[in-house]
Amino acid sequence: MSDPDTPQANGVTDLEATRPPSEGEGQPVAIGPYRLLRKIGEGGMGEVWLADQTRPVQRQVAVKVIKAGMDTAQVVARFEAERQALAMMDHPAIAKVFDGGSTPEGRPYFVMEYVRGEPITDYCDRMTLPLRDRLDLFANLCDGVQHAHQKGVIHRDLKPSNVLVAVTDDRATPRIIDFGIAKAAARRLTDSPFFTEVGGFVGTPEYMSPEQADPSELDVDTRTDVYSLGVILYELLVGTLPHDREALRAGGIEHARRVLFDEDPRKPSTRVDRVATAVAGKRRLPPTKLVQAVRGDLDWITLKALERDRTRRYATANALALDVRRHLAYEPVSAGPPSTRYKVGKFVRRHVVGVASGVAAIVGLLVFTAVLAFQAERLAVERDRANQEAATATQVTQFLISLFNVSDPGEARGNSLTAREVLDKGAERLDQTLRDQPLVRVRLATTIGTVYTNLGLYSAAQPLLERALDVSRAAAGADHPDTVEAMNALAAVFWYRRDYARAIELYQQVLDARRKTLGESHRSTLVAKFDLSSAYQGTMRLPEAERLLRATLEAQRTTLGADDPDTLQSLNNLQALYFRMKRYDEALPIANEVLERETIKFGADHPRVLLDTHNLGAVYLELRQLGLAETLLLRALNGRRSVLGRHHERTLTSWERYARVLEEKGDADAARDAYRGILAEINGDTQVPYPSISRRVLERLVKLAEGRPSSAEVSEWRRKLDALVTAGIERN
C-alpha cells in the first residue's frame, strides 16, 4: 500500500530542506548541466532535487534520481516506465519531462518541470473556492487525464497529492505528477520483464478502483482512473472520502478489497454531517445550501464515476468532464439517478443463496413495488415539467396574441399600427401580464430590446434591457444564461450609442460568465471576446483590441472553420480595426476576402454583405481609388435603403460616405445635395436623431460653404453645429 496523502512537490513528499551531497565542502553535486541545490522530496524508489539548469537554457528544474541501493531491476523498470510515460505527453495539466540519463554511478535520472504547487484539495480549501470554481478546476484535471489515456497511459495512482495546483498569471491550473506506477494501455512503457507485478496491490486504497484491487484482474483499463477521479470529486465537493480512510486500512489488504467490492458509497450530499459548518465554510456556503447544491446532478455524476461495475462507469475521463461542464452550463447531465431496479438486482446477485432458499417471492414483490414507485416518481417529475412548459408556452402565446389584436376593430379603432407601435405595445404590457413569470418576461424583453437595437431605436431598447437585466439577476443570478443574454443585449446598445466604457464593463462580465459556464473555446465565449475587442476599438485601445481579436480569430478558425459566420465576422472586424489605425493597405485584401466569402454564403442583399460592400468602398475612398469607391458605396446605399429603410443609421452612414466620394471627385453641388438629404432624413424622424452623423454632415456643409456668400441656410448650419459641439457630441 502507498502512504496516505501528504503535501507534495513533483511527485514526492515535501521534506524539510535537505543539504545536497558534496564533492567538496560547500560544492553541490552536478549531473551534466544540472546543479543540485537541495532535496525537495523523497519517495519509495527515488529522490527529487531542486536544481539549476545551466545550459542550453537557464531555469530551475526538478531532477528525480533513483535512491542509492534501490537500483534493482524491478525499481529501474518502474523508473524507466515513469520517465517514458511522462515523455510521451504534452498537456498543460501534466508535468513536462525535459531530459533524462544516468549519473556517473549509473543511477538513472530524469529532469522534469519544477511545479510550485499544492494538492488540489488543499488549494481549494485554502482559497475557500466555491463549488463552481472547484468543478471548473476538476474538469481541467479530467482533460489532462484524457490526454494521458489518448497516449496509451493509465496513471493508476490519481489522488490529491499527485494533482498539484500551480497559479500562473492569476489562473489556477492542475498539474498531474508521479506516473511511477503508470501502465501502458496501448504500448509497452518499458521492455523490462520485471515491471508488472501479478497479485501485487499497487496504488492508494482510498482512491483505488475495485478492479485495481483485484489480484486476479490483469485487464485494468482507463476506467480505473475514472474511478479515482470520482473519489477526488467526492472529496472536493464535501471534504470527505467515499470510504472512511481509517476503516479501510484497519483490516489490511483483504478487508480493503472486500469494502471496495461489496460496499456502495453513500451520496456525497448525505455526508455533510458533524463537520458540516467547517466544510461548507470552505465552499462559501451554509451547510443546508451545500447539501442543496450537491444533491441531484453532482450526486449522480459522482456516483456514476464511482460505480463498482466499470461497465456502468463513465467510459472516459472526457465523458466525466462533459457532464461536469453540462452541470455548470445548466444543461441536463447524462448521469441519471441510479435506478431502483439496478440496486435490487445487485442485492440479489450478492445474496443469491439466501434468496433462492426461501425469499424469492418477497424479493420479487419488492422489485415490482420498487419499479412501480420509481416509475410513478419519474412520471410525476415528467408530468410536472410538461405542465410547467405548457404553462410557459401558454403565457407566451397569450402575450403574443394580445400584441396582434390590432386587426380587431375594437382594439385598433380603425387605425393601422406599425411594427414599431406593436413593439411599443408589447414593451408596455410585459410588466403587467407576466408579473409572476420573471424569466419569461426577461426573455421576451431581451428579444424586443434586441429588435429595437436592430432597428436603430437605441433610446427605446436601453431602459427595457436594463429592467430585464435587473429582473434576471434577482430571479436567477448573475451567471444564469438569461441574465448573460440580457447583459449582452444591453452592452450592444451601449456600443451603438458609443458609450464604450459601459459597453466594455458589460462585455467583460459576459465573457467572464461564459468562460465559467461554457469554457474558453465555446462559440459563445469567442463571440464575447469579439464583442469586447470591438468595444476596445471605440475607446482607441487599439493594440489591446488587435491582440484580443487576432487570438479570437485564430481560435475560431481552429474550432469553427474559416467559413463559419462568426469567423468571417471577426475577419471583417480585423479589417475595420486596420481601417481605424489607417493601415489601409492591410485592410484592403481582408475587406475583399470577406465580401467575396460572405456574398457566396449569404447572398448580395444580406445586411452583412451590404456592410462588407460599404467597408470595401470606404477603404478604396481612403486609398483615393474613387471610381471603385463610388460604385461600391452607391451599391451599399441602395441596398440598405431597400433592406434596412431610409432612416436606419447604417443607411445614413453609407449615404454620408457616398457624399464624401462626390466631394473628393470635385462635384461640390452633388455632394451638398447629398448632405442636405441626410439632414432632411434625420430631421424628419425625431425619434432617431443620430447626433454624431449630424455633426459630421454639418461640418462638411460648413466647409463646402467656405469662400461663398453667406446665406440663412449656412447660418443655420453653423448654429446647429455650434450646439452639437457645445453638447459634447463626438464625430466618431
What are the residues facing 166 on neighbouring strands? 173
Q: Does domain 8-113 have CATH number 3.30.200.20?
A: yes
Q: What is the pLDDT of residue 3?
A: 41
Four-residue CA torsion sign, 207, 211, 217, 221: negative
Q: What is the pLDDT of residue 67?
A: 75
Cβ partners under 8 Å of residue 234, min gap 6: 240, 241, 242, 265, 268, 302, 306
Q: What is the pLDDT of residue 43?
A: 67
What are the residues facing 63 on neighbouring strands? 49, 111
Asked if residue 272 lies in contact with residue 279, where contact means CB atoms within 8 angstroms, the answer is yes
Say whether pLDDT at 476 is over 50.
yes
Say whether pLDDT at 560 is over 60.
yes
Give burial (CB, 10 Å; 0-12/13-18/19+) of 732: exposed
More confident residue, 90 or 597: 597
Give burial (CB, 10 Å; 0-12/13-18/19+) of 28: middle
Per residue in 666-678, pLDDT tens?
999 999 999 999 9
**Which of 556, 537, 554 is closest to 545 using CA atoms?**
537
What confidence tier does 193 reach under pLDDT thresholds 50, 70, 90?
very low
Q: What percent of the chain has pLDDT over 90?
A: 38
3-state SS class at 684:
helix
Say whether pLDDT at 459 is over 60.
yes
Q: What is the pLDDT of residue 425?
A: 73
Give burial (CB, 10 Å; 0-12/13-18/19+) of 118: buried
Q: Region 302-326: what's the mean pLDDT?
A: 92
Rounded to whole angstroms, the maximal C-alpha distance in the chain is 117
More confident residue, 409 or 516: 516
Q: What is the DSSP letter of 94?
A: B
* Rounded Cα distance, 591 and 612, in Å: 7
Q: Region 292-299: what's the mean pLDDT?
A: 91
Residue 710 vs residues 40, 148, 675: alpha-carbon distances, Å: 87, 80, 18
Q: Region 488-495: what's the mean pLDDT?
A: 94
Asked if residue 6 lies in contact with residue 161, where contact means CB atoms within 8 angstroms, the answer is yes
What are the residues facing 47 on neighbouring strands? 42, 65
Per residue in 98-146, pLDDT tens?
887 878 877 888 888 888 889 999 999 999 999 999 999 999 999 999 9
DSSP per residue, 51-65: EEE-SSS-EEEEEEE
| Residue labelled with grid coordinates 449656412 | 714
For strands 27-28 and 30-31, give the pairing.
Answer: unpaired
Q: Which three cell numbers stand for residue 415?
A: 387605425
φ/ψ region of 209 (left if φ > 0, alpha if ψ in -120 to 50, else beta) reads beta
Say whether pLDDT at 599 is over 70.
yes
Q: Which three cell numbers stand for residue 546?
A: 488587435
For strands 46-53 and 34-42, give the pairing.
Answer: antiparallel
Q: Which of 330-334, 428-432, 458-462 has the highest mean pLDDT?
A: 458-462
What confidence tier does 192 reach under pLDDT thresholds 50, 70, 90?
very low
* Rounded Cα distance, 575 and 585, in Å: 10
User: What is the enclosing helix (H) or strand (E) of 730?
Assistant: none
Asked if residue 631 lies in contact with residue 665, where contact means CB atoms within 8 angstroms, the answer is no
What are the residues facing 42 on neighbouring strands? 13, 47
Cβ partners under 8 Å of residue 642, min gap 6: 605
Q: What is the pLDDT of residue 132?
A: 93
Say whether pLDDT at 442 is over 70.
yes
Per residue in 618-664, pLDDT tens?
999 999 999 999 999 999 999 999 998 888 889 999 999 999 999 99
Neighbours of 709 (CB within 10 A): 6
Q: Region 453-479: what's the mean pLDDT?
A: 88
Supply the mean pLDDT for the chain.
80
Give alpha helix (H) positions in 413-541. Answer: 419-433, 438-454, 458-476, 481-496, 500-518, 523-538
Say whether pLDDT at 615 is over 80.
yes
φ/ψ region of 707 (left if φ > 0, alpha if ψ in -120 to 50, else beta) reads left
Neighbours of 306 (CB within 10 A): 24
Residue 720 vs residues 481, 598, 629: alpha-carbon distances, Å: 45, 40, 30
For the stretch 630-637, contacts whose Cβ atoms lie closer than 8 Å and that sit 24 or more positions apart, written own/partner, are 630/658, 630/661, 630/662, 630/665, 633/657, 633/658, 633/661, 634/658, 636/610, 636/611
Per residue in 145-178, pLDDT tens?
999 888 888 888 899 988 999 888 788 999 988 7
DSSP per residue, 184-200: ESSS-S---TTS--TT-
Residue 33 vs residues 37, 111, 256, 659: alpha-carbon distances, Å: 13, 11, 46, 70
What confidence tier does 402 reach under pLDDT thresholds 50, 70, 90?
low
Per residue in 349-371, pLDDT tens?
555 555 455 456 665 566 666 66
What confidence tier does 346 reach under pLDDT thresholds 50, 70, 90?
very low
First to last CA, the chain: 70
For the stretch 95-101, contacts whose Cβ atoms lie closer than 8 Å and that sit 24 or more positions apart, written own/partner, are 95/10, 95/11, 95/175, 95/176, 95/177, 98/53, 98/61, 99/32, 101/31, 101/32
* Rounded Cα distance, 377 and 552, in Å: 46
Four-residue CA torsion sign, 167, 170, 174, 176: negative
Per residue in 1-59, pLDDT tens?
334 343 344 543 332 333 444 443 344 578 888 899 888 877 666 788 899 998 888 89
Q: Residue 374's Cα: distance from chain center in Å?
A: 36
* Rounded Cα distance, 152 and 188, in Å: 9
Helix axes 438-454, 360-403, angle to 10 degrees: 40
Q: Region 501-520: what's the mean pLDDT?
A: 93
Q: What is the pLDDT of residue 14?
A: 33
The least confident of 12-16, 70-74, 452-456, 494-498 is 12-16
* Rounded Cα distance, 376 and 652, in Å: 63
Asked if residue 446 lies in contact with residue 489, where contact means CB atoms within 8 angstroms, the answer is yes
* Amino acid in the structure at residue 363: V
Q: Region 687-709: what's the mean pLDDT?
A: 84
Say whether pLDDT at 688 is over 60.
no
Helices (H) and strands (E) in the chain, counts: 30, 15
Q: What is the pLDDT of residue 17?
A: 34
More confident residue, 718 or 107: 718
* Rounded Cα distance, 158 and 177, in Å: 9
118-335: CATH topology is: Transferase(Phosphotransferase); domain 1 (1.10.510)
Asked if residue 112 lies in contact with residue 82, where contact means CB atoms within 8 angstroms, the answer is no
* Rounded Cα distance, 116 and 123, in Å: 12
Q: What is the DSSP letter of 155?
A: -
Q: What is the pTM of this model?
A: 0.45
Q: What is the pLDDT of residue 72?
A: 60
* Rounded Cα distance, 85 and 178, in Å: 10
